[in-house]
Amino acid sequence: MISRKETNSDSRNLEGLKQFFCGGAAGAFAKTVTAPFSRLTILFQVHSMVTTKESRPLFAMTLNGGMRKIVERGGILSLWKGNGTSVLHRFPYTAINFYCYENILDLIYSPEHNQEDSIPAWKRFVAGSSAGSVACIACYPLDLVRTRITTELPGHECYKGIIDAFYQIMRTEGARGLYSGLGPTMFVAVPNFAISYTIYGTLKEYVLEDELFYNLRRIDDESGQETLDWRATLMCGATSGGVSTLLTFPFDTVRRRMQIQNVHIPYEKRLSGAQLLKQLIRSEGFFAAYRGLTPELLKVAPMVGTLFYVYEFLKQQLNVGQPIR
């Protein structure tokens, strides 16, 4: 006879697996949709390090110019170069992030509160930063490999694929090489997700409570609770992603450069994150730290909006707990 305790345990495990899948699938889908902008952003950020001709400009002067250059060199599908690694990274990364966020929030949010009570913003911030830290450390090697494959120039490839990239990095740089640039990445990922979750959750509460946004709400068929419609979900997600990107973008530029400097710069000339940032500003100007911001902002609205929307949609379809808070 199966005990009630075992049944509850199995139910929780199944709920956890569903939650994990919803987060991973949402991240992979959103990343694929916006992959061309992601690649363009990275190339803007590191172009002065990877350009092979002194006569070439340090970076594409315009958004259209950068996009055209990518297509001319590798065809239309080259806009998705490295997306396979991106999906391999993004699925566990987003899954761990959402899973940890919701469970950490449950731990620090007192259970005696009613669902209608507002969750303090600082608790969302703590849960988001903690989740971001765990996901970042767990999945960082895949992010490193993705960046290196994405920034390879035609005819100057260092790796034959994902597996070869891991092998070559381990052989030439050791295990530490897989975590090159982790410090600046933490400065990006941790506040990025903390800010995103905080703003998204706060905006969501505001939209649900203010009658001004009545037309942006709907009644969930399963729970009967009022929730955001797709327009409000995309709006809240895009806003949260845009604000977090503006605040953390310089650190993102530094981490991308740290991820590829082992390939393009001799050992004795490699720099720390702080040194890279100083050198970049000194040699290319302050706004060089924000180079690539335009395609990133064009990407972040549909990506983060789609991420939260698909996650909420899949949770509803699979009857997984309550919507993200």
Tens-digit pLDDT string for the chain (325 aa): 445 445 556 677 788 888 899 999 999 999 998 988 888 888 888 877 666 555 555 455 577 888 888 888 888 888 888 788 888 889 999 999 999 998 898 888 765 555 556 788 888 899 999 999 999 999 999 889 888 887 777 777 888 888 999 999 999 999 888 998 888 888 888 888 889 889 988 998 888 888 878 888 887 766 667 788 888 888 888 888 889 888 889 888 888 888 888 777 777 777 888 888 898 889 888 888 888 888 888 888 788 888 888 998 898 888 886 667 7
- Which token pair is 95? 């899954």
Residue 226 lies in a domain: yes
DSSP symbol at 153? P
Note whether residue 173 is domain-resident: yes
CATH number, domain with residue 281: 1.50.40.10
Enclosing H/E stretch for 240: helix 230-264
In a domain, 107, yes or no: yes
CA 63 to CA 104: how far, in whole Å?
Answer: 40
Asked if 252 and 143 touch (Cβ cutoff 8 Å), the reply is no
Total structural domains in the chain? 1
Kindly report the pTM of this predicted structure: 0.74
Residue 12 in any domain: the answer is no
The reply to whether 171 falls in a domain is yes
CB-count exposure of residue 257 (10 Å: 0-12, 13-18, 19+): buried
Beta pairing class for 226-228 and 217-219: antiparallel
Task: Confirm whether 4 is domain-assigned.
Answer: no
Distance CA 123, CA 135 (A): 18
CA nearest to 102, candidates 128, 125, 139, 120: 128
Domain range enclosing 194: 22-317
Spell out the residues 6+ positions from residue 10 whose beta carbon is closer than 8 angstroms to its own: none
Neighbours of 310 (CB within 10 A): 22
Secondary structure element (H or E) that encloses residue 169, with its range: helix 162-173
Express each pLDDT in 156-168 by its tens digit. 788 888 899 999 9
In a domain, 6, yes or no: no
In a domain, 9, yes or no: no
Q: How far apart are CA 34 and CA 220, in angstroms?
A: 29
285 Rama sector, left if φ>0, alpha if ψ -120 to 50, beta otherwise: left
The closest of 311, 299, 112, 290 to 197, measured between CA atoms, is: 311
Maximum CA extent, the chain: 77
Give me the helix-helix angle, 35-50 and 230-264, nearest 10°.
Answer: 30
CB 16 within 8 A of CB 99: yes
How far, in Å, CA of 181 to CA of 146, rounded? 13
Tokens 């690539």, located at residue: 292
